[in-house]
Amino acid sequence: MIGEWNMISVPLSVTDSRTTTLFPTATSNAFAYDGAYVRRDTLLHPNGYWLKFGSAQTVSLTGFTRIADTLNVVAGWNMVGSVSSTVPVTSIIQQPGGIVASSYYGFTSTGYGAATSIEPGKSYWVKISAPGKLILGQ
């Protein structure tokens, strides 16, 4: 994690998905995006969240591998989380087809950038043209 704000997700199946359990060193609440930012105490798969840390650090999570997941998406901007392995954005299945209307954008210490893969533990912005589903992994 970088110091300050991070776009995160939970790439594993865990027994306790409360933010305070998974990320005890975070210095903020977790925020999901649902047309506006909404505070979340429990982090769900495969959603993405904003979470703040006071300094750069490595965070280790313990749980079971998630090889695939399905995310319901709405028209407009969505935060997409990850599974346990890297997923090339070209392999993400769209239902219905053709609903992804932008690149996937990740966030780093230098700002936003287009991503070619969804990485475990991170989350990404993507603009969707119509409600549907994104299927990560196989």
Domain edges within the chain: 4-53, 65-137
- The per-residue pLDDT for range 71-96, each reduced to its tens digit, is 999 999 999 999 999 999 999 999 99
Cα–Cα distance measured from residue 98 to residue 112, given in angstroms and rounded to the nearest whole number: 23
Tokens 């506006």 sit at which residue? 36
What does the pLDDT read at residue 85?
A: 96
pLDDT at 108: 84
Rounded to an integer, the average pLDDT of 110-125 is: 95
pLDDT at 2 over 80: no
Question: Residue 56: what pLDDT?
Answer: 87
pLDDT digits (tens, 9 = 90+) for 22-74: 999 999 999 999 999 999 999 998 999 999 999 888 888 999 999 999 999 99
Q: What is the pLDDT at residue 16?
A: 96
